[in-house]
Amino acid sequence: MSETTSDIGDGRAAPAFARREIWGVLAMSLGPVLAAFVLSGLILLLMQVNPFSYYGYVFGRGLFSPTGVQATLTRMGPLLLLAASLIVAFRAGIWNLGGDAQFLVGAVFAAAWTPLMVAHVPVWGALLAGMAVSAGFGALWGLVPAFLRAYQGLNEIITTLMMNFLGLSLASVLVKLVFLDPATTVPQTRTLPVEDRLPTLGGTTISSGLLIGLVAVLAVHFVMTRTAFGLRLRVVGANAGAAVHAGLAVPALTVAVFAISAGFAGLSGGVAILGQYGNVRADWNPAYAMSVVPLVFLARFNGFAAIGFVALFSILSIGSESAARRMGVPNYFTLVTVAILLIVLGLAEYWGARRRQKAGV
């Protein structure tokens, strides 16, 4: 009897195959990250910057500095909510690329109303209401592309990107004209006092928005992998035609996915304002949503893996601010790394698809 036959017979082939699958997933997830770091390092060399010194400052600030670690964990809260938003949409086969506008719309309304509510209701009530407002307006902003996709068959990539431009402009107009703080010369909303913001954790400066983000990602992961509702969404994402033949209400599920996804994105904006920034200035756009897209793909839409990749991005974004001051590298160089990561990820997916095609899988 051959070794292969023996392995199958005694049950050792299945674990070996599972191990190969795990290593394959790790290679497809971590390989692009390492390649992006190497290519970014080459760009730094062309800029006459020592990449080892740069990455040393980045990770030193984001991982080993107490203030840097706290800033990293605080930033993770809104990013995790955006990851939850994208996981819901992508698992259902929907490309919600309007997260930045949904984030900003939610942030603006939360920043405008919460300082007014604090004066009339308990702080915890104002914060809960502010988060509900941000999630609600984020969800409303996602309904236009939702109905266009569900009932008109329009490509949501185009409509969500168009709604992004409209949302960014609307947020700026609202700040400058409708929600302008009359007490300031800089166009911005009223500022929520520090003592009225989301509570911090354990005597640190870490916003409790981190816990909200963690709960959201883990809840989405559970719903999408362990519930009947999540199964229906995955079926729609895998094959909408088959879902129709199976009797699923595809248009209604499409609208529901958009509302949930956009609601999480809006809540992300609310948590960023209520836990960290306190107000929204005109023309402010951190562009978090587009930065989280490659992280969710690297995580293969897995909630636990998404937490790790969001943590890595937070370390990079916080650490790059320190490295920029010390080494003269532009503060947006992290976005260059993310762009390279997207390109490498696309190439890796193409290579993986070609391998599966050749293998007849």
Residue 143 included in any domain: yes
More confident residue, 26 or 196: 196
* Beta-bridge partners for 188: 281
Buried b (16+ CB within 10 A) or exposed e, 118-141: beeeebeebbebbbebbbbbbbbb
pLDDT tier, 238 (very low <50, low <70, confident <90, very high otherwise): confident
d(CA 72, CA 158): 33
Residue 309: φ, ψ to 5° = -70, -35
For the chain, give the percent of residues with pLDDT over 70.
91
pLDDT surpassing 90 at residue 6:
no
Mean pLDDT of 124-139: 96
pLDDT surpassing 70 at residue 237:
yes
What is residue 24's predicted lDDT score, i.e. its pLDDT? Answer: 59
Mean pLDDT of 191-204: 93
pLDDT surpassing 90 at residue 86:
yes
d(CA 254, CA 262): 12
Residue 52 included in any domain: no
Q: Evaluate whether 278 touches 194 at the Cβ level (below 8 Å).
A: yes
The residue count of the chain comes to: 361
Lowest mean pLDDT among 10-19, 22-31, 69-78, 260-269: 10-19
Q: Evaluate whether 143 touches 259 at the Cβ level (below 8 Å).
A: yes
Contacts of 267 (CB under 8 A, 6+ apart): 81, 106, 131, 134, 135, 138, 212, 216
Residue 55 included in any domain: no
Written as one string, the DSSP assignment of 155-205 is -HHHHHHHHHHHHHHHHHHIIIIIS--TT-SS-BPPPPPGGGSSPBSTTSS
pLDDT tier, 100 (very low <50, low <70, confident <90, very high otherwise): very high
pLDDT surpassing 60 at residue 246:
yes
pLDDT tier, 267 (very low <50, low <70, confident <90, very high otherwise): very high
d(CA 54, CA 328): 10
Beta strands, E only, 221-305 = none
Residue 185 included in any domain: yes
pLDDT surpassing 70 at residue 19:
no
pLDDT tier, 18 (very low <50, low <70, confident <90, very high otherwise): low
Structurally, how many domains does the chain consist of?
Answer: 1
Mean pLDDT of 179-183: 91
Q: Which of 350, 336, 242 is nearest to 39 (CA)?
A: 336
The pTM assigned to this predicted structure is 0.88
Residue 228 included in any domain: yes
Residue 42 included in any domain: no
Report residue 142 as tokens.
């996602």
What is residue 343's predicted lDDT score, i.e. its pLDDT? Answer: 86
For the chain, give the percent of residues with pLDDT over 90.
60
Handedness of CA 270, 279, 193, 71 (dihedral sign): positive
What is residue 147's predicted lDDT score, i.e. its pLDDT? Answer: 95
The amino acid at residue 48 is Q
pLDDT digits (tens, 9 = 90+) for 300-337: 899 999 999 999 999 988 888 778 778 888 877 888 88
What is residue 4's predicted lDDT score, i.e. its pLDDT? Answer: 46
What is residue 119's predicted lDDT score, i.e. its pLDDT? Answer: 85
Domain range enclosing 265:
75-314
d(CA 310, CA 77): 9
DSSP 208: T
Report residue 358 as tokens.
């050749």
What is residue 15's predicted lDDT score, i.e. its pLDDT? Answer: 62
pLDDT surpassing 70 at residue 260:
yes
Task: Please give the mean pLDDT across all residues of the chain.
Answer: 88
Residue 24 included in any domain: no
Residue 26 included in any domain: no
Written as one string, the DSSP assignment of 300-333 is TT-HHHHHHHHHHHHHHHHHHHHHHHHH---TTH
